[in-house]
């Protein structure tokens, strides 16, 4: 069994790195697990614990559904939190609405469902996780740090491939290992 997910690798640009460093510095005393900038990605589908044989099937589905889809791009902009500022779980950078990105998610998800994968039924909400909040002492400081960038454009991301990753959980944060990339 391996914990796997399908994602788009994002190489953070200068504006994103500045935002990340600023938010991290402003919230340095809070209990937040920060994403390593080298691991920044946009999750298309999280599959979780998956048997080796099923991983092979997922690879075939990705090959079939990515080949010929065509390259796409999206804009990385804005910041916020999931659940809310009183009970935050995740600090994120946003993705401007992209029909092609939504189509790619739907195509991959449908391909996986057709081969028996159980996919979460919640709506695809594209974002980049930058930190997982364990606790914050003052929600207003969190709100001030995150809201500074709520309307900021960071970069355009050009997408040529989708990656199947294994997520290896470690005490100091997850390690992501590519198990294959699939050209669009």
Among the listed residues 19, 127, 131, 136, the single catalytic one is 127
Distances (CA, A) of 71 to 108, 122, 162, 172: 15, 26, 10, 34
Is 127 annotated as catalytic?
Answer: yes
Is 41 annotated as catalytic?
Answer: yes
Among the listed residues 2, 3, 18, 41, the single catalytic one is 41
Coil vs helix vs strand at 40: coil
CA angle at 55 for the pair 52 and 59, rounded to the nearest 5°: 145
Query: Rounded to a whole number, what is the distance in angstroms from the first to the last CA of the chain?
Result: 27
Distances (CA, A) of 96 to 21, 50, 79, 152: 22, 31, 11, 11
Distance separating alpha carbons of residues 1 and 169, to the nearest angstrom? 13
Of 60, 19, 12, give the one whose Cα is nearest residue 36: 12
- Contacts of residue 150, defined as CB under 8 A and 6 or more positions apart, other chains included, come to 78, 79, 80
Which residues are catalytic, by number? Answer: 41, 127
């Amino acid at each position: 069994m391996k914990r796997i997910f399908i994602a788009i690798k994002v190489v953070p640009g200068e504006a994103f790195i500045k935002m990340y460093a600023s938010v991290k510095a402003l919230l340095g005393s809070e209990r937040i697990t920060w994403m390593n900038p080298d691991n920044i990605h946009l999750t298309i589908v999280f599959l979780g614990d998956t048997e080796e044989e099923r991983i092979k099937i997922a690879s075939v589905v990705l090959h079939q559904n990515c080949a010929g889809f065509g390259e796409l791009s999206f804009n990385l902009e804005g910041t916020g939190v999931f659940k809310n500022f009183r009970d935050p779980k995740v600090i994120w950078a946003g993705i401007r609405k992209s029909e092609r990105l939504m189509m790619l998610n739907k195509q991959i998800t449908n391909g996986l469902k057709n081969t028996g994968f159980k996919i979460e039924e919640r709506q695809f909400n594209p974002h980049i996780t930058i930190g997982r909040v364990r606790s914050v002492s003052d929600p207003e400081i969190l709100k001030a740090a995150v809201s500074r960038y709520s309307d900021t454009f960071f970069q355009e991301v050009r997408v040529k491939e989708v990656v199947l990753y294994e997520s290896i959980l470690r005490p100091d944060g997850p390690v992501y290992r590519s198990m294959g990339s699939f050209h669009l």
